[in-house]
Structures are given as C-alpha cells and as structure tokens.
Amino acid sequence: MKVTAIYPGTFDPVTNGHTDIVMRATRLFDNVIVAIAASTPKQTAFSLEERVKMANIALKDIDNVEVCSFEGLVTAYARSRDASVIIRGLRAVSDFEYEFQMASMNRQLNDKTETVFLTPAEQFGYISSSLVREVASLGGDVSRFVHKDVVKALKERLTV
C-alpha cells in the first residue's frame, strides 16, 4: 500500500528547515504533497502563487514531492488527495503544545488521517519563515537559511 503524506503550511517563504523536513518525509512515505495554504490568518509577505513558485524551485531536486496550494481545512484536503498522513515540523518544545492541539483537532475532523511530527536537523532547528523575513527586511544575509532564488525574492520584496 502506497502512503501519501501532506505537509501543510504557509511557507512564507520556504526555508532550508522546511526542505529538510520534506527530505526526511520522502524517506518515510511514498508521496509527499507540500500543501501551501491559500487562506491563512497570517499576513503573508508573498502571494500564494509566489509561495508555490518558490517551493517548487527549492524542492525541485527531491523525488516524490508535489507542491500545490489548497483552500479550507487540511483534513478535507487530505481526504480529497487520499493522504493518510499529515506531517508537522517541530523545532522546539515551544511548538509542541500548539501542534499537539492541532493534531487532536485534525483527528476529530478526519480520523482516517494521522499526524506525524518530524524534527529538522539541528542546524535548522531555529529557522522560521518569520525570522528569515525579519532578517532579510533589515538587510541581513539569509543565504544560509533559504534557497538562493528565495534570497533573491526576499531582497526584491523586503529589503529596506
């Protein structure tokens, strides 16, 4: 039986930490869908189309990965794609409470989908999209944290 997993998020922008989680997931699951949320309570720096494009570029060399956008509940999207796993990344203990609560709610909404938590490699554990955006907006070098094409997009969009 082939197992499809969904890795949902805003990916604003996709970071090397996200890429690391995707690579780990492809070793565990047959297909990994990086599902970029169209609607989010967060104010995004990049449009949905830009976020999808950057993720496609950053993840192009990883097999068994599809990047797409989705609207609505991730549990409904998982059902529509026959995905039995939702992947969530945990960087620190502080992420756990929120992610545990979300996993429990998702199980109530779709009991056919399990949440699997993955941790990034240690060198990516502190990276978040919001920190990358903040450093880039202040003119800092983010080339260690994101794909080179994402660096360019951040400079064009955010540099003061």
Would you give the end-to-end CA distance of the chain in angstroms? 51
Residue 95 confidence (pLDDT): 81
Is the whole-model pTM more than 0.95?
A: no
Band the pLDDT of 7: cuts 50, 70, 90.
Answer: very high
Band the pLDDT of 160: cuts 50, 70, 90.
Answer: low
- Are 98 and 58 in contact, with CB atoms under 8 Å apart? no
The answer to whether 69 is a known catalytic residue is no
The answer to whether 91 is a known catalytic residue is yes
**Catalytic residue of the set 51, 88, 129, 147:** 129
- Are 6 and 25 in contact, with CB atoms under 8 Å apart? no
**Catalytic residue of the set 18, 51, 88, 133:** 18
Closest CA to 47 of 72, 9, 73, 12: 12
User: Given a cut of 70, is residue 72 above it in pLDDT?
Assistant: yes
User: Given a cut of 90, is residue 91 above it in pLDDT?
Assistant: no
Domains within the chain, CATH numbers bracketed: 4-122 (3.40.50.620)
User: What is d(CA 50, CA 47) in angstroms, rounded to the nearest whole number?
Assistant: 5
Each residue of 57-67: pLDDT tens digit?
999 999 999 99
User: Given a cut of 60, is residue 103 above it in pLDDT?
Assistant: yes
